């Protein structure tokens, strides 16, 4: 599947208001389905689909009839996804909160399937034809990629409201495959705050710190927003204008993070045949009172998600390994050297190795990944959580045509120059 996003332009304020009404109606259908599930034990997905048609016939909810029937079904599907996720977490006995379905207060999207809209022949305009009659909009995107796909390939269309306007996302049924030329390189990466990541060869990528750089402007804009707030009364137009300005600043930061994560992950996948990273539980790390904001600003989870995605597209091996003691253990003799967070250099008292803290951790991460890969290729381990080297949050893609290639990489390690310093990769 491929998602193509375009901005909806050249619409009147009345047309955008119609889109808001469609979004609110979709939110109403989703919340009604959640309430129906709470009140009726044993509710299934089909019951929620039947509820959508009943809402359209109910005289007390005439606005539900305006929304396209398949859009109502999509809203019910969203409700069932949250319910099903809650069931799965309960069955798996996931620690912590299980994600009980909640009511949506400020939804920002409505999703159509195959009806409710019509594209122009040149794919430059879209017209919404449901009961709200939002009308026709121009589609603006960086590349006119929609012209390369037929209408039969477009499976879903989602309208998303953001701080700077309305966007249309097209879900296209196409299998994306990219050719990857074997480079003979394997690497492990250690994620950090001082440097965004350090690989096993000692190369580093700077941490951009987009939120920290925009923090001064954000604080100033949020102070102005607080001054315009009127407690206990209707907010003024100046308040809403300033609220949009603050939202745009946050939107810019999120887009900068996403763009940087995509570029770094793509460059890493294209230049290596094997990438190993540490499976960090970022949700727990951000609870740190002093480092939580910096960890969120680094966006490690987004980076690893794109890393796994590009690894699947380019058909290379990507492994997540447990991060336990990767910083403390010596990468040469495996001696455990205790370090505080302020100690940035690894100094082994046993073999006298001196390395940067993150470089030493990256080598240990790579050794863990190579050990797991060697056991996997030999057929001695499976995809279980009880193995000494587990997959963590990622999946493992082994291309049948590259198994011999990967076996050679396991034996060779990083490179010929590093083999002398680290003689054994596989235990």
Strand partners, 321: 278
pLDDT value of residue 426: 28
The predicted structure's pLDDT at residue 233: 83
Cα 168 to Cα 274: distance, rounded to the nearest angstrom? 36
| 237-270 vs 300-313: helix crossing angle, rounded to 10 | 50
pLDDT score of 373: 78
Is the alpha carbon torsion for 237, 242, 246, 248 positive or negative? positive
Mean pLDDT of the chain: 84
30, 76 contact by CB (below 8 A): yes
Task: Give the Cα separation of 220 and 129 in Å (integer).
Answer: 43
CB atoms within 10 A of CB 64: 22
SS3 label, residue 209: coil
The pLDDT assigned to 143 comes to 56
Domain boundary assignment for the chain: 2-172, 186-419
End-to-end CA distance of the chain: 40
Please tell me the distance from the alpha carbon of residue 129 to that of residue 115, in angstroms, as a whole number.
Answer: 8
Measure CA 198 to chain center: 21
For 355, the enclosing helix (H) or strand (E) is strand 354-356
79's CB contacts (< 8 A; 6+ apart) are 30, 31, 33, 34, 37, 48, 101
pLDDT of the residue at 405:
53
Q: Are 220 and 232 in contact (CB under 8 A)?
A: no
CA distance 273 to 92: 34
Please list the ranges in the chain whose pLDDT falls under 70.
142-144, 376-427
Q: Which of 296, 314, 414 is nearest to 365 (CA)?
A: 414
pTM for the structure as a whole: 0.82
Q: Identify the pLDDT of residue 37.
A: 94
CA–CA dist 197, 242 (Å, integer) = 36
What pLDDT does residue 391 have? 35
Question: Tell me, what's the pLDDT at 408?
Answer: 54
> For position 173, what pLDDT does the model report?
87
CA 276 – CA 323 distance, rounded (Å): 11
How far apart (Å, rounded) are the C-alpha atoms in residues 94 and 161? 33
Task: Give dist(CA 358, CA 191) in Å, integer.
Answer: 8
Whether 322 and 390 have beta carbons less than 8 Å apart is answered as: yes
């Amino acid at each position: 599947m491929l998602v193509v996003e375009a901005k909806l332009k050249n619409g009147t304020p009345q047309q955008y208001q119609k889109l808001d009404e469609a979004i609110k109606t979709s939110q109403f259908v989703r919340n009604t389905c959640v309430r129906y599930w709470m009140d009726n034990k044993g509710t299934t997905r089909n019951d929620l689909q039947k509820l959508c048609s009943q809402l359209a016939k109910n005289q007390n909810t005439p606005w539900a009839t305006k929304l396209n029937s398949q859009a109502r079904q999509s809203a019910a599907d969203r409700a069932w996804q949250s319910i099903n996720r809650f069931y799965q977490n309960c069955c798996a006995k996931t620690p912590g909160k299980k994600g009980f379905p909640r009511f949506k207060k400020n939804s920002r999207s409505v999703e159509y399937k195959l009806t409710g809209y019509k594209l122009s022949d040149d794919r430059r305009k879209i017209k919404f034809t449901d009961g709200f009659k939002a009308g026709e909009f121009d589609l603006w995107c960086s590349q006119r990629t929609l012209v390369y796909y037929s209408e039969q390939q477009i499976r879903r269309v989602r309208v998303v409201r953001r701080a700077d306007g309305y966007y249309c996302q097209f879900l296209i049924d196409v299998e994306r495959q990219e050719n990857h030329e074997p480079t003979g390189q394997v690497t492990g990466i250690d994620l950090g705050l001082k440097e965004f990541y350090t690989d096993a060869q000692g190369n580093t990528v700077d941490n951009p710190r987009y939120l920290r750089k925009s923090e001064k402007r954000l604080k100033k804009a949020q102070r102005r927003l607080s001054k315009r707030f009127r407690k206990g009364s209707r907010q003024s137009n100046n308040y809403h204008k300033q609220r949009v300005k603050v939202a745009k600043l946050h939107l810019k930061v999120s887009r900068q993070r996403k763009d940087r994560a995509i570029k770094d992950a793509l460059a890493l996948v294209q230049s290596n045949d094997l990438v190993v990273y540490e499976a960090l539980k970022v949700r727990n790390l951000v609870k740190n009172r002093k480092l939580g904001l910096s960890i969120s600003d680094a966006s490690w989870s987004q980076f690893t998600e794109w890393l796994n995605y590009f690894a699947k597209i380019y058909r290379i091996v990507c492994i997540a390994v447990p991060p336990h003691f990767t910083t403390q253990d010596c990468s040469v003799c495996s001696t455990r050297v205790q370090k505080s967070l302020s100690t940035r250099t690894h100094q082994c008292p046993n073999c006298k190795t001196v390395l940067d803290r993150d470089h030493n951790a990256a080598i240990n991460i790579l050794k863990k990944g190579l050990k797991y890969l060697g056991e996997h290729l030999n057929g001695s381990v499976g995809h279980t959580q009880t193995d000494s080297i587990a997959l963590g949050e990622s999946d493992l893609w082994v291309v049948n045509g590259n198994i011999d290639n990967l076996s050679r990489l396991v034996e060779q390690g990083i490179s010929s120059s590093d083999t002398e310093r680290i003689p054994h990769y596989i235990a």
